[in-house]
């Protein structure tokens, strides 16, 4: 047990360090997690034997549940509304067309049976939400004509269709009797209706009743994600559709303390992505990959330059999409974890196939991430589809939760310069709004003529700082024996990554300059960039 925990901890730390390195180079970080798993695997540096497909499927499917839930939860329908119809057509009809075209290519080029060829096409027919979100967010790719929202909606909702096609073809290959119309009806109806119903019930519970504590709400949401997948699946529906639509409904409703939930799922999904890609890299046997490299490369090239573009152009052309937009959407069809997980389903089914489908799909995904994921920012620039004035984060619900307003409190003392002055006479910036005044346990809605008294507590609102990605604030208490006591700011060593932005002194707040002296009892607020 201790050895396993040590291994998990070391791998997680390495993944985090690799993620930081990947931010500085134009390569998706998910590739590094795959390669790291391969380094630990049977043909890697550490030679760890691992071939438990059943355990891998359980772990990866569970992680995929949270990734899909958070994909729906973070999708801003207001922003995505203009492209909702083409997005869902791409995620349904587009997947079917792609699967059919790839299946036809495999059948005629490699001579496989039709069912086996279509099975391969079905497994790799969906674009990957985790990969698309990762590239868009990490590279801050804001695209014109709501193209970013279109890609997010499509990639988040097309996995269930690929899953349904895979299950249907597996049933046909294995010879099980199955009613295709009935199966599709149950998968779609129970999946969508179940997810929406569970999401609606959860929203009502969280907004109307206060039986949940602050941490309890986040745990409750965690449990809802599991239920939204599991319940439709048990009833014969599509669990992935259920959890995705549940996430969409809940993410686009008011929820108390939504910010903490977003933070939790942001961390959780990042851990899930690391775990999935590392585990899949550990599961693969690199020495076996050359056997499928040529067919995998051929399928990836056909999919990228013919299959995917044909499906995209057929669907988007009637919506009068520009050539540049259709070309970028075609190129942005990254394959990822969902395809590999579906290939594991095929392996566990035990059907006899000409190629090792897990290895085949693994190579396709690796090539797709390396080629398309790396060149997507370049392709966006070349096609003139980037929007420098837009913010990609605005297409996600958590943007509003993170960058709305901040509230500031100000205590008025006897010696405070605002004491005995009217609000309208205060030299406040235009972006700062006084919203509340607390005086002797009474709440007052202030006006310009309100006179401030000693003991008043002002509550003010201001736009919150949005670009906090590389900025962290720290507080340092100055004791009597602190090395900075008595020093002037201008005498401190200059550091480009460290800046004292504020000093708390008693009940006063000081915006310092070079002549400000640091005293015992001060609390220094510094920013590290």
Number of structural domains the chain divides into: 3
| Mean local confidence (pLDDT), 176-203 | 90
Lowest-confidence segment of 211-220, 360-369, 512-521 by average pLDDT:
211-220
Mean pLDDT of 180-189: 87
Q: Would you say how long the chain is, in residues?
A: 529
Average pLDDT over residues 431-447: 80
- Residue 107 maps to a domain: yes
Q: Which two tokens stand for residue 394?
A: 């605005």
22 part of a folded domain: no
- Per-residue model confidence (pLDDT) at position 337: 85
Mean pLDDT of the region 402-425: 76
Section 97-111 average pLDDT: 96
In which domain, by residue range, is 159 found?
A: 53-387
pLDDT at position 398 is 53
Is pTM, for the whole model, over 0.85? Answer: no
Mean pLDDT for 43-71 is 90
508-510 sheet: strands from edge to edge: 472-477, 523-528, 498-505, 508-510
Nearest of 359, 378, 324 to residue 147 by alpha carbon: 324
Residues 357 and 438 in one domain: no
Is pLDDT of 415 > 90?
Answer: no
In a domain, 299, yes or no: yes
Residue 402 pLDDT > 60: no
Q: Is residue 232 part of a domain?
A: yes
Task: Take residue 306 and report the two structure tokens written for it.
Answer: 């013919």
Task: Write down which residue in 359, 387, 415 finishes a domain.
Answer: 387
Phi, psi of 150 (to 5 degrees): -60, -45
Residues 459 and 369 in one domain: no
**pLDDT digits over 492-507, tens only?**
877 655 678 888 887 6
pLDDT score at 466: 53
pLDDT at 240 over 70: yes
475 and 456 in a common domain? no
Report the CATH number at residue 435: 3.30.70.1450
159 and 122 housed in the same domain: yes
Which residue pairs, CB below 8 angstroms and at least 24 apart, start in 117-120?
118/165, 118/169, 119/166, 119/169, 119/170, 119/173, 119/346, 119/353, 119/357, 120/299, 120/355, 120/357, 120/360, 120/361
Domain-located, residue 43:
no
Choose the final residue of a domain: 466, 487, 517: 466
pLDDT band at 211 (very low <50, low <70, confident <90, very high): low
Q: What contacts 311, CB < 8 A, 6 or more positions away?
A: 90, 93, 94, 97, 98, 101
Pair 362, 476 in one domain: no
Same domain, 512 and 453: no
Nearest to 79 by CA among 330, 392, 404: 392
Share of the chain above pLDDT 90, in %: 40
Predicted local confidence at residue 512, as pLDDT: 82
Contact 120, 104 (CB under 8 A): no
CA 50, CA 15: separation in Å to the nearest integer? 19
> Which distant-in-sequence residues (6+ apart) come within 8 Å of 360 by Cβ?
120, 292, 295, 296, 299, 343
Confidence of residue 89 (pLDDT cuts 50, 70, 90): very high
What does the alpha-carbon distance between residue 162 and residue 390 come to, in Å, rounded to a whole number?
32
User: What does the pLDDT read at residue 128?
Assistant: 82
What percent of the chain is predicted at pLDDT more than 70? Answer: 91
Q: How confident is the model at residue 403 (pLDDT cuts 50, 70, 90)?
A: very low
For the segment 125-135, what is each residue's pLDDT rounded down to a tens digit? 999 877 777 77
Q: How far is residue 238's CA from residue 257's CA, in Å, rounded to a whole number?
A: 30
The whole-number pLDDT of residue 289 equals 94
CA angle 204, 210, 213 (to 5 degrees): 115
Which domain CATH number covers 198?
1.20.1530.20
343: pLDDT confidence band, cut at 50, 70 and 90?
very high
Rounded Cα distance, 190 and 232, in Å: 6
Mean pLDDT of 349-356: 89
Q: Among the listed ranges 190-194, 224-228, 394-398, 424-428, which one has the minimum average pLDDT value? A: 394-398
Q: Do 307 and 453 have their domain in common?
A: no
Q: Are residues 356 and 428 in the same domain?
A: no
Q: At residue 457, does pLDDT exceed 90?
A: no
- Of 229, 242, 245, nearest to 77 by C-alpha is 245
Residues 182 and 280 in one domain: yes
Do 446 and 515 belong to one domain? no
Reported as a single tens digit per residue, the pLDDT across 115-169 is 999 999 999 999 987 777 777 776 777 888 889 889 888 988 898 899 999 999 9
Q: Are residues 171 and 189 in the same domain?
A: yes
Task: Report residue 464's pLDDT band, with 50, 70 and 90 as the boundaries.
Answer: low
Same domain, 193 and 290: yes
pLDDT of residue 468 exceeding 60, the answer is no
Q: What six digits make up the tokens of 3?
A: 């050895």
Asked if residue 31 is part of any domain, the answer here is: no
Residue 401 pLDDT grade (very low, low, confident, very high; cuts 50, 70, 90): very low
**Residue 426's pLDDT band (boundaries 50, 70, 90)?**
confident
Report the pLDDT value the prediction gives residue 80, as an integer from 0 to 100: 81
Residue 11 falls inside a structural domain: no
In this structure, of 111-120, 294-303, 463-472, the range with the lowest mean pLDDT score is 463-472
Residue 252 included in any domain: yes
Q: Which of 466, 488, 506 is the last residue of a domain?
A: 466
Report phi then psi at 473, rounded to 5. -100, 140
């Amino acid at each position: 047990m201790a050895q396993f925990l040590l291994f998990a901890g070391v791998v997680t730390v390495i993944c985090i360090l690799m993620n930081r390195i990947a931010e500085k180079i134009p390569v998706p970080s998910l590739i590094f997690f795959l390669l790291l798993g391969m380094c630990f695997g049977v043909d890697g540096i550490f030679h760890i034997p691992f071939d438990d497909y059943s355990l891998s499927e359980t772990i990866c499917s569970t992680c995929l549940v949270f990734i899909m839930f958070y994909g729906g939860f973070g999708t801003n329908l207001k922003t995505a509304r203009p492209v909702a119809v083409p997005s869902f057509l791409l995620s349904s009809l587009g997947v079917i067309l792609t699967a059919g075209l790839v299946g036809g290519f495999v059948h005629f080029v490699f001579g496989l049976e039709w069912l086996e060829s279509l099975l391969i096409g079905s497994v790799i027919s969906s674009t990957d939400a985790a990969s698309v979100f990762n590239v868009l967010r990490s590279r801050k790719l804001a695209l014109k004509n709501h193209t970013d929202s279109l890609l997010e909606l499509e990639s988040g909702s097309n996995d269930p269709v690929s899953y349904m096609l895979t299950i249907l073809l597996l049933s046909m290959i294995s010879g099980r009797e199955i009613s295709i119309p009935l199966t599709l009806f149950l998968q779609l109806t129970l999946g969508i209706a179940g997810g929406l119903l569970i999401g609606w019930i959860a929203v009502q519970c969280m907004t109307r009743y206060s039986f949940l504590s602050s941490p309890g709400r986040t745990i409750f949401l965690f449990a809802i994600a599991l239920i939204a997948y599991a319940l439709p699946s048990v009833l014969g529906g599509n669990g992935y559709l259920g959890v995705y639509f549940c996430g969409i409904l809940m993410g686009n409703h008011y929820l108390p303390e939504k910010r903490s939930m977003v933070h939790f799922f942001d961390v959780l999904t990042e851990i899930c992505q690391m775990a999935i890609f590392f585990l899949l890299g550990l599961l693969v046997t690199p020495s076996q990959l050359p056997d499928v490299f040529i067919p995998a490369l051929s399928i990836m090239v056909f999919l990228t330059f013919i299959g995917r573009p044909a499906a995209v152009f057929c669907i988007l052309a009637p919506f009068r999409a520009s050539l540049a937009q259709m070309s970028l959407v075609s190129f942005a069809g990254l394959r990822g974890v969902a395809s590999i997980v579906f290939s594991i389903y095929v392996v566990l089914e035990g059907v006899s196939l000409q190629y090792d489908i897990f290895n085949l799909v693994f190579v396709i995904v690796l090539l797709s991430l390396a080629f398309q994921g790396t060149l997507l920012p370049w392709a966006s620039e070349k096609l003139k589809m980037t929007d420098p004035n837009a913010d990609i984060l605005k297409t996600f619900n958590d943007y509003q939760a993170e960058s709305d307003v901040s509230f500031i409190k100000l205590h008025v003392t006897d010696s405070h310069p605002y004491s005995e002055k009217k609000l309208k006479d205060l030299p406040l910036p235009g972006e700062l709004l006084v919203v509340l005044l607390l005086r002797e346990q009474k709440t007052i809605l202030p006006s310009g003529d309100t006179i401030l008294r000693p003991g008043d507590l002002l509550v003010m609102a201001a736009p919150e700082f949005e670009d906090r990605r590389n900025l962290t604030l720290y507080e340092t208490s100055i004791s009597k024996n602190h090395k900075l006591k008595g020093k002037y700011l201008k005498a401190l060593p200059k550091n480009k990554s460290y800046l004292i932005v504020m000093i708390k002194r008693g009940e006063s707040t000081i915006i310092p300059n070079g002549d400000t002296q640091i005293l015992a009892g001060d609390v220094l607020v510094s920013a590290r960039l």
